[in-house]
Structures are given as structure tokens and as C-alpha cells.
Structure 1
């Protein structure tokens, strides 16, 4: 493990593989910005924006993540949700916290020290972001995939994290990933209880976490206590290439052409990436809701959509 004093996130960097799920340790649980009073203040600043979502906890693993806000709304304010989280029967997402200057410093505090270790094997880090989840006991974050590498860190309470390999097409098809990258549509990412048997399962408490590669399907269940979690996400040159290939494959699929799955033929991947780059530069990255803006304009920090 990396034990440098300035490093708050520890992985086994000697064996780090950006495409392999791994356990994580961290020293962020006592950070002042991750305590309930500061999260209430951040929630108030984000109130009324797309950076704050609150949901009731009736959604299960099989809920469509895209529709959770519409189908399972929580009418309480961010302050009321956090202050009464033990009995709120709800969960709250503070998204793109790097848009807040104070929390951008937290994202940098966590990510800057480990960037050299990551870039040694996965260069080109960009599009940093922070996501904070505050949840009542016995709450489920539905089964879904994400468009960046992610480091989930448990701050308070416990969670059971179910995560599947990024190339497990029995759990999430290649075409589902194509559609997700091109249109940010999770409609083809479907839950099945049988998936639990194929999952990597981590029970995480304060100081613990999980590294998850891009589009690794995952689902999370909180324990008997309220939970606070922060996830740091980022893109790299490799994730950008991966996403671009999926974008073009989705276009081919819609034109009736069955594309070669991403990663199966290196030469095809190279040609696909070159074609997708030209296409994105000329026409953008899909329809509404938008695909990841970093495909068109990489930036140091993620841009809220």
C-alpha cells in the first residue's frame, strides 16, 4: 500500500490494473467537508439545481436509474433529508461537487496525490468529479453503469457493494454499453436477481472502499445505519478511446450493421476510434440526454449535464 502522508487513498499501486475491480483504503472519514453539517450547507447551495437529487428508498435494484428521480421522489429539502436521514427513508445525491469551489479543493486533495500512480499505467487523467451519497438505512442504489473510472469511499455507516467485471456481457450486454456511451441511456441495463451470484461483493465501512473500472455494473445496499459515501470519478485517454468506439458501434447498430465488440480486435478498435473522433468533432456525441461531454472537449474537471 502507498502510505505517503499526503496520500489519502490507498491501493496496491504495484499491481494496480485500471480494468480490474480492487479494494481501497482511505483516510477521509473525518474530513470536515464530509460531516453532516457541511453536507447540509452544500445541499442548500445546490438546492434547485441539477447538482442535487433526493429520492425515497422505495426503489430497488431493478429500478431504472434514469427514472429514479421521477418515479421515487423525496419532497423534503436537502437540509431536512440530511438532518433526519435516520428516519427519512430516502437517499440524496450531491453530484458534481467539484462545481463548488470548496469541494473542488477536496476533489483535488484526494485525487492529485494518486494521479501519478494512476497515470503510470493509465495516462491522461481528466474530467475529475465528486459525488456524495447520503442514505437512510436499508436503501438501495439501483443497478447501473457509469461512464468513468470510479473510486467509492465509505465515510459513515456500512454498505454492501455488488460490482461486476466491466467485460461481463452476461450481466450487461455490449450493445447496452454502446447505447449508454452514445446516448447516456440506461434502458438496456436490466437487473436480474441471478446476477448476485456473479458479483464481486464488498462490505465497506468507514475507511474502506472499492475501485470500479468504467462501465462495471454495480448496485449498492446500505446497512442498519445512515450512510455517507463519496465517489471520485475520472476519465483517461483509454476510457476516452473506449467510449468513442462504443459511440460509433451504436451508430453502426442503428444502421443495421452488427459491429465488432469493443476490445476484440485491436486493429478494428484503432480504425473505429479514428472514425469516431472525426464524427464527434463534426457532429457532437449523440442525442438527448447528452453523452459524456468530455468526448468532445476534455477538461480537467467534469461538466455537469
Structure 2
């Protein structure tokens, strides 16, 4: 049944067959947020100034074709939000504001509105542990091939980027690699990549007012075009996604500690319930292998420096 179109909706081109695709195939949709004041320069500048150290990342990587080298982690000190945006426009960095809703409740209200629309339009879809992360990227910046653990979407607000989405199956995403990611034994960007993967990628051009949702754990990489880009990601959990998480968590424990090489990923039956019990036993005990992530910071955003960064003596922080 087609849901009635509302004048206040965020998704602007919903179709009756989209519920059958949601979460199972890549789904590109239009949205109405390209002119939202929440993503204008003055709002982003205020947000940057108010964001605490633990709620942002600023990254740099060399501009190279294809999958870029490992990124570097930096810091913002002594600059206004407007100065930081000026560096992004002309430099070679990108900023992730990982918890804007904690700084300004308006972003939390936006997140709730987005998911309310999906839950209204996709029968049985109920989400929780949702988050919104804002991405502000320099021209031509590329984001390394990676996969995410929760359900994920990318919303383009300003500028244009290409998004390469790969199958969430081997060889693009191996079962051991996914398990290490879930156990915290590997970073998202540690996923192995081969140039020929691109022959099997879906390539989506996201302009302002477009968004993309892809299947769980789908590997992807991003190439921003020659302008400042502003976008945001949303992530969520559902009961079904938590089942997949628990199975892969338990499989990772069994593979790394018991040396069991062949493990199914079933989310039903006796093997599932045994793995669910194992995952719960390990995760909430001292045996939990997941640790806080450590980040080595070795540059500072500097408007006077080439590419907008100045090397500093490195230090490490965890979160």
C-alpha cells in the first residue's frame, strides 16, 4: 500500500516497492535537507566551536587515485569555527562531528524525524541506538575502503561525491575480517582492498538532496568532487541486526580462541542460541576482547600551512 505523501516529509520520492528493497539492496532516495539551516556555514561553525575533543575527528590523507593510504588523525586548537571551515575549503582534510545531538538537540530531533519516516513506511522496521555523524570534507578528499558494523546511510547536503558500494560477501568482505571488526581487533579502514574490486562496485553519484542506504556491513569508499562537501551518516540497530552482530561476535571468539575454521552465520536454530549465549557470556565479562580505541594525533589544523595541517609532536588518546 502506498503511503500518502506529506508536505513536511524529509524523503521526497518514496515509492511503494521500496519497503521490499530496504536493507536488502542499495537504495538511493531524494531528501529535503539540502537547504536546512542546520548545515549552513554559521550553524556548522558554531557546532565545531562547541564540540568537545572526544566528539570529533579531523583526518588527513594523501590525495591519490583509488583507495588512499592510511589516514592521519589531528586536532583543532585556537581557531574559530569559521576559520576551520575556511581550511576545509582550501585544504586536504575532513572533519567528523560524531555526536552533534549532544551539542545541539536540533540534530537529535532531525535524527528522530528521519527514522520516524522510515518506521512509518517500512513495515516491521523498528530501530534503536541511533546516531548521526556530520562529515565536512575538503575538495577531492577520498575516504578509504571500509565497512561499518551497524545499519548505515549517507545523506548528501552540500557538494557532490561518488560512493562505491561493494557486495557484503567474500572476497569483498571476508567472514574473519568482519569478525575482527566486530571484536574491535581491526579498524573499519583495515579492510583489505584490491583495485579490481571496482569492477564489481555499484557507483552512485550523490548530489545535494540525495541519500544512499546499503545492506548491512556493505563495504564502501567515497570520492568527494572538487568542492567543499557536507554530508552526514546515520546509523541504527534493529533486533535483526543485533542477531547478526551476536553471531559474528561469537564466531570471532570461536575462530580466534578455539581455532574453529568453518562457522555458519545462521541467525536461527540451536547453533544461533548457543552463539548468542556465548556472545553474552564473553561480552559482559573480563574476557571481552573489545578495548577502547586508541588514536595517535600528529597534526594540528593550521590555516597558514600547506594543505591546512601542521605536524606536531604525536600523542595518543583513547575513546
Range into which the TM-score falls when normalised by the shorter chain: 0.7 to 0.9
CA distances 1:15-41 after superposition (whole Å, capped 9, x unpaired): 233132211211111111111211111
Q: How does 1:77-96 map to 2 (within 5 A)?
A: 77=79, 78-96=81-99
Q: Is the 8 A contact 1:53 1:93 kept in 2?
A: yes
2:62 aligned counterpart, secondary structure: coil
Q: CA offset at residue 184 of structure 1? A: 5.7
The 10-residue stretch of structure 1 (29-38 or 101-110) with the greater mean CA deviation from structure 2: 101-110
Q: How does 1:1-305 map to 2 (within 5 A)?
A: 3-9=5-11, 10-12=13-15, 13-47=18-52, 49-58=53-62, 61-64=67-70, 68-70=71-73, 73=74, 77=79, 78-100=81-103, 101-118=105-122, 120-123=123-126, 125-166=127-168, 168-183=169-184, 185-186=186-187, 188-255=190-257, 256-263=259-266, 267-283=270-286, 285-289=288-292, 305=319
Q: CA offset at residue 274 of structure 1? A: 3.5
Root-mean-square deviation (CA, aligned residues, Å) is 2.6
2:54 aligned counterpart, secondary structure: coil
- Name the CA distance, whole Å, in 1 between partners of 2:216 and 2:280: 19
Q: Cα gap change, 1:144/1:268 in structure 2, threshold over 3 Å: closer, same or farther?
A: same
Give the aligned length. Answer: 283
CA distances 1:9-68 after superposition (whole Å, capped 9, x unpaired): 254434233132211211111111111211111111114x1211112342652434xxx2
Rg larger in structure: 2
Consecutive unaligned residues in structure 1, runs of 5 or more: 291-303
Q: Cα gap change, 1:46/1:4 in structure 2, threshold over 3 Å: closer, same or farther?
A: same
The 10-residue stretch of structure 1 (34-43 or 178-187) with the greater mean CA deviation from structure 2: 178-187
Q: Cα gap change, 1:88/1:247 in structure 2, threshold over 3 Å: closer, same or farther?
A: same
Output the TM-score relative to the length of structure 1.
0.83
Equivalent position of 2:296 in the other structure: none
- Name the CA distance, whole Å, in 1 between partners of 2:163 and 2:87: 24
By percentage of residues, which structure has more strand?
2
1:134 aligned counterpart, secondary structure: strand
Q: Is the 8 A contact 1:185 1:289 kept in 2?
A: no
- Name the CA distance, whole Å, in 2 between partners of 1:74 and 1:219: 24
